[in-house]
């Protein structure tokens, strides 16, 4: 695989407006959602037996923050490389294949981690490997799907993400006593879904430009030309990384996604510990659940079931009434749901609220990818720009990591207060993100 400084022509514009094609191109989002859904419950549960109990939020927050620092730049970096890839296998497929393979190795390492440093190292390795694939993969929708069909494509993508979480919940509940087996299953699914995407897209061979050494001949003239060419490429590369930020629409979409991700990750990262410390008793249909891990997976299952339905409906609505309107409604619904969740530490109440929150989150997922694809400043840099947009998901993870220390501090002042403040912060992040999306002008 070679990465050149010039932009290659796109592969064949393969697009089929049928469900099977949308499912095929979205398959790696299924794997990604399956993977991170389980990991964000499994890893804190795994840490309970490794770190001191009173500082578990701080330790887990440190793991998240370390991985998030890399994830802030990884998708955009590998997306940039993908945009300039001259492989005969295409621009995106080689990165997806390599990233999926490395991700599988990282998962197996994490599954055998028995010390804190191993968890940190394995999580960082996993983030890097995942970014190798998902940075370039994020560009497939703007690459292949016409604007008029992006709402449907985003809806199918959101639907698969929710179905993946349902499947992950079933695996987590069934195999919660065999952690390594769960990691192995995640690794296999990651590889299978990568193959499905590559076979669906079928990127063709692109023309290779003449190498820089072939353009110049002879001694000092060649040396000067190469140095000048290197400086020009550096300047051009810097401009390309800055260019999307010149678009007001891109800035607004980035920041609103940042707020939504901040709210979601605060809940997801600390739900297991919130249930462990504040709720403590878990009953489903009159039957007790084994522990906080199972209780959190059941909640996530309800969220995913509701989200799967609302993702398909929201995708259709995004094409009909506009992406922004769907995002606003979804964000307000999540805000309203989180207020009682923050104030009432009761598992039955939480069970009732979970599907309502899931409906809002599924609808949000169905519209946000279509919205981002609509406002990309330069289609020729789609993977790089989508990678920068994905930084809006990675960056709040750094802040969310520090929230763990604040939760522990608040809990020391008064038991449970740290979680209440954290979830209040999450709810208002959803509301702010929903209202600010109206500032976007380049999409409906």
Q: Which residue has the tokens 């939480």?
A: 350
When mean pLDDT is compared across 260-264, 373-377, 405-409, 427-431, the lowest value belongs to 373-377
Residue 10 inside a domain? The answer is no
- Quick check: is 426 in a domain? yes
Q: Which two tokens stand for residue 141?
A: 């929708």
- pLDDT of 159 higher than 60: yes
* pLDDT at residue 183, as a whole number: 94
Cα–Cα distance measured from residue 416 to residue 407, given in angstroms and rounded to the nearest whole number: 8
What tokens were used for 341?
């969740």
Task: Indicate whether 233 belongs to any domain.
Answer: no
Say what the pLDDT of residue 382 is: 64
Residue among 428, 36, 429 at smallest CA distance from 262: 429
**Using 50, 70 and 90 to split pLDDT, how confident is the model at 3?**
very low
- Number of other residues whose CB lies within 10 A of the CB of residue 227: 10
CA 24 vs. chain centroid, Å, equals 18
Q: Which residue has the higher pLDDT, 323 or 406?
A: 406
**Rounded-to-integer distance, Cα 27 and Cα 32, Å:** 9
Place of tokens 């598992």: 347
Residue 207 has pLDDT above 60, yes or no: no
Return d(Cα 373, Cα 246) in angstroms, integer: 16
Smallest CA-to-CA distance from 108 within 41, 220, 11, 183 is with 183
Report d(CA 158, CA 23) in Å as an integer: 11
Range 347-371 average pLDDT = 86
Q: Is 283 helix (H, G, I), strand (E, B) or coil?
A: strand
For residue 12, pLDDT beyond 50: no
Count of domains in the chain?
1
* pLDDT computed for residue 185 by the predictor: 95
118 lies in which domain range? 19-206+246-439
d(CA 13, CA 74): 27
- Give tens-digit pLDDT for 327-344: 888 889 999 998 888 888
Q: Which of 282-296, 339-353, 362-376 has the lowest mean pLDDT?
A: 362-376
Whether 343 is covered by a domain: the verdict is yes
**Per-residue pLDDT, 206:** 38
% of the chain beyond a pLDDT of 90: 18
Which H or E run includes 287?
Answer: strand 287-288
Mean pLDDT of the chain: 80
**Is pLDDT of 189 > 90?**
yes
Contact at 8 Å (CB) between 78 and 388?
no
Per-residue confidence (pLDDT) for residue 395, from 0 to 100? 82
What whole-number distance in Å separates Cα of residue 99 and Cα of residue 262?
25
Bridge partners (DSSP) listed for residue 411: none
| pLDDT band per the 50, 70, 90 thresholds, residue 225 | low
Domain membership flag for residue 381: yes
**Beta carbons within 10 angstroms of residue 348's beta carbon:** 13
Check residue 218 and give left, alpha or beta (phi > 0: left; psi -120 to 50: alpha): left
253 and 371 Cβ atoms separated by less than 8 Å: yes
Which pLDDT belongs to residue 236?
A: 62
- Local confidence band at 352 (pLDDT 50, 70, 90 cut-offs): very high
Strands (E) in 54-199, as ranges, are none
Residue 226 lies in a domain: no
Structure confidence at residue 381 as a pLDDT band (50, 70, 90): low
Q: Which residue has the tokens 């604007």?
A: 147
Q: How confident is the model at residue 11 (pLDDT cuts 50, 70, 90)?
A: very low
Q: Residues 267-306: pLDDT tens digits?
A: 888 888 899 888 878 888 778 887 788 888 888 888 888 8
The answer to whether residue 230 is domain-embedded is: no
Question: Is residue 35 pLDDT above 90, yes or no?
Answer: yes
Check pLDDT > 70 for residue 60: yes
286 within domain boundaries: yes
Of the candidate ranges 72-76, 235-239, 275-279, the one whose mean pLDDT is the lowest: 235-239
Q: Give the CATH number of the domain where residue 90 resides.
A: 1.20.1250.20
Query: pLDDT at residue 209 above 70?
Result: no
pLDDT category, 70, cuts 50, 70, 90?
confident
In this predicted structure, the answer to whether residue 434 has a pLDDT above a threshold of 80 is yes
Average pLDDT score over residue span 34-43:
87
| pLDDT score for 240 | 65
Q: How confident is the model at residue 156 (pLDDT cuts 50, 70, 90)?
A: confident
- Condensed to tens digits (0 to 9), the pLDDT of residues 125-152 reads 999 999 999 888 877 777 777 776 777 7
d(CA 141, CA 26): 9
- Single out the residue of 411, 434, 433 nearest to residue 422, CA to CA: 411
Q: Residue 85: helix, strand or coil by DSSP?
A: strand
CB–CB of 77/138 below 8 Å? no
Q: How far apart are CA 374 and CA 146, in angstroms?
A: 10
């Amino acid at each position: 695989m070679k990465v050149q400084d010039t932009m290659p022509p796109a592969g064949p514009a393969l697009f089929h407006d049928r469900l099977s094609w949308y499912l095929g191109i979205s398959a790696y989002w299924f794997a990604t959602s399956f993977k991170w859904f389980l990991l964000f419950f499994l890893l804190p549960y795994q840490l309970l037996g490794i770190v001191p109990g009173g500082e578990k939020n701080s330790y887990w927050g440190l793991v998240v923050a370390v991985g998030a620092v890399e994830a802030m730049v990884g998708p955009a970096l590998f997306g940039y490389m993908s945009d300039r890839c001259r492989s005969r296998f295409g621009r995106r497929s080689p990165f997806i294949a390599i990233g999926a393979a490395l991700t599988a190795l990282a998962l197996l390492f994490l599954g055998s981690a028995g010390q804190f440093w191993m968890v940190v190292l394995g999580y960082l390795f996993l983030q890097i490997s995942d970014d190798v694939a998902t940075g370039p993969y994020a560009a497939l929708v703007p690459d292949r799907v016409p604007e008029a069909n992006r709402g449907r494509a985003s809806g199918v993508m959101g639907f698969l993400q929710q179905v993946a979480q349902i499947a992950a919940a079933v695996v987590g509940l069934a195999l919660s006593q065999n952690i390594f087996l769960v990691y192995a299953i995640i690794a296999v699914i990651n590889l299978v879904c990568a193959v499905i995407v590559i076979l669906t897209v079928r990127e063709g061979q692109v023309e290779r430009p003449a190498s820089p050494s072939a353009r110049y001949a002879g001694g000092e003239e060649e040396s000067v030309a190469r140095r000048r060419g290197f400086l020009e490429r550096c300047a051009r590369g810097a401009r390309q990384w800055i260019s999307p930020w010149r678009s007001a629409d891109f800035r607004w979409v980035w920041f609103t996604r940042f707020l939504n991700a901040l709210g979601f990750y605060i809940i997801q990262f600390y739900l297991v510990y919130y249930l462990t410390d504040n709720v403590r008793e878990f009953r489903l249909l009159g039957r007790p659940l084994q522990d906080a891990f199972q209780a959190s997976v059941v909640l996530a299952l309800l969220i995913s079931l509701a989200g799967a339905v609302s993702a398909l409906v929201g995708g259709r609505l995004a094409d009909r009434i506009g992406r922004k309107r769907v995002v606003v409604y979804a964000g307000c619904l999540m805000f309203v749901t989180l207020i009682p969740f923050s104030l009432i530490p009761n598992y039955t109440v939480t069970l009732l609220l979970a599907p309502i929150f899931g409906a809002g989150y599924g609808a949000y997922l169905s519209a946000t990818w279509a919205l981002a694809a609509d406002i990309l400043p330069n289609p020729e840099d789609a993977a790089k720009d989508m990678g920068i947009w994905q930084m809006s998901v990675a960056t709040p993870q750094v802040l969310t990591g520090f929230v763990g220390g604040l939760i522990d501090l608040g809990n020391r002042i008064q038991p449970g207060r740290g979680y209440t403040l954290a979830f209040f912060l999450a709810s208002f992040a959803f509301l702010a993100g929903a209202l600010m999306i109206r500032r976007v002008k380049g999409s409906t």
